[in-house]
Chain A
């Protein structure tokens, strides 16, 4: 063991290890060595000179992986920087985040990808993995140099926020990306159907006099893109599914065995457009909060595996930007630090899912569908670990967020499930000290 730095061995003991990737759920110890998992088992003694971490009363799980966050650097550093976002992520139990490229300027060349990656590493929060833009300037016309983006560290391409509308470009993207083994991530929306819309289309929008975005705007694009995935064999990943009709399209793709994966946000698993009443701009998000029927459909799809993963679509906005007329307020919900609690409330507390299934959808499944080294506590995997208390009830106090922004429609909510400690590569990068 020559050259080993003293103290880089950890012995996480006394906890309940829940790791669906290897079917674990029970009392066990985890040994970490040189930033990776060395062993997991119920009878593991503390190795010589290993630093103990007391996990008694806590669940020990693989760190969460969020395939969809918006950090606003460059261009919107008053909302979130890469550093603040990466630290907000570990506060929420996330050890890896994929950052969307719709910054100002967008991340559409290799140098920009390198910048995000370097800033992410310097942040010492979650691992930051950049998604590159699919088209130059995210203008939906000319494909970016995807090979160069990948060489610089991009893990996927997407024009998120500006859906790829041109069917021919989408086809070429799904073909070209296959050389690099990365997915095309699509914010699925037929812009012509959604244009000008600020909330879910339906009776509440009608009563409030706000322009609506119909479910069909999302489902129609998913249908088109799934057909293009079938045509090309490319990997399509569908962002933030919100509508029940979208679930039907995804189920069809699943039944046909297509390379189509998808995600749902915590807020779409529990909140509805009722929350917009009173012109509540904190509930303005795209895709919009839908109806109870849609919430039930996406929840069931997640349980069934038709939707693969939970992703936050963390979209920080400065309070002044939300403090205005509904039409003019930006879309987006700050999601990283409330994700686990909201999912506990939406899924585990009512009995739709077990804690193990939730951890699967937040940690294991993202790694599985994207082929990442992580999302597991198997020996050899990176020691990306979260310690959480599934029973602790806490109150959402946005002013206390690590994120630079505080925009959430669930301020004041009491949520079950608290993140206690987050380790990235064996290093503790978030810890809640109080009352322990």
Chain B
């Protein structure tokens, strides 16, 4: 077996595939020629082109991490109840395009029968954008798919309806690098202790100058520990960010108790009305509690439903808070305001109130 030498195949360096062979024919025909759209119901978009061609899109939530059987089920539905063409949104929702309105209801029925929720359009809570977590990441503080599954079970009703003041984009990230991105509500790992260093392993595993350079607050320095070249952390300076853990796994940042979850609010990608914004800290110190993370779910729902009740039409979560003010947000969401909410990283004074504008 091992003797058979086969010249490896050289790759066709084709790059990004051309989507037109896969695109729904009505989309292809009207490429760059769409005029307006409306929504027939949550999860169903209706687009009309300048030539009066029409296309209906049914959007369904998926679990993102899909087995081949799930994908084939979606393909079967696309072949039997739609026209064989689908696309995915950035939030892992699948979209089925059909050229006739009468195809919409049977398509929805088939998707719902297989357990795929229809929604995620307009002023709904769409699928949570997320990362890999324990399933596949090399530096995760928590799981991603599990947190998302638990939360989407809880928020299912808000996915299939459009009853929020504006769209809600929730994200999760399983470490502080924040690969999940900015969100109206972001659920991110927050470490609470400096790394615990396995000094026997550092010299063999880590490129020490690179690790020293990675620290945002210059708290890491080379050191000789027990006669071995290693690294040490100035724990007074350390901000427990975990940046050193990726280039140096022997600097374990996680532990069963110290890895916590923080919730951030008011991130926004769109330029509509206000410029894009970053999310801001709402709560930290929540336990990393699989398989359902109930403490996280509770806080998310408190924030979400305070927004649902008090936000005005078209206000994104962050815009709602801008209007009512942070003191009232903390009151309405029933969240304590702590010294940790006051930024002290570089550029922090930009975030302080330099005015006599006070909310009472």
Same complex for A and B? Answer no
B-side residues, CB < 8 A to A, are none
